Amino acid sequence: MAEERKMETGDHQLSLKKREELRLTGVLNVESFDDQEIIVDTNAGGLIIRGEDLHIGQLNLEAGNLAVHGFVDTLQYTGESMGKRSRGLFGKLFK
């Protein structure tokens, strides 16, 4: 079971201050974003950030850093890359 949870190597950290300032490391890509939901790929798997008045304050994909401001309501890991997940769905639909 531990092997199933093993993701890409690299550092991934998450810091949330007063549910209003979220900082992430190990970010590989931002799949989508709006003021209520941000979906990112990290080296620990896909991460869905939900809340209110969310906006990206800083994004540096070369360094793998992301800063989000707004009220964070939910942080949910999907366990797999969001890009792989969407390709799988479209692959099944358009086969």
Q: Would you list the DSSP string of 1-41?
A: -HHHH---SS--EEEEETTTEEEEESEEEEEEE-SSEEEEE
Supply the mean pLDDT for the chain.
84
5, 43 contact by CB (below 8 A): no
Domains delineated in the chain? 2-93 (2.60.40.2000)
Residue 92 pLDDT more than 60? Answer: no
Amino acid at 77: Y
Using the structure block, give the residue that is written with the tokens 């692959």: 91
Looking at the DSSP bridge assignments, the partners of residue 74 are 50
Task: Give residue-wise pLDDT tens across range 29-56.
Answer: 999 999 999 999 999 999 999 999 999 9
Here the tokens at position 90 are 């479209």
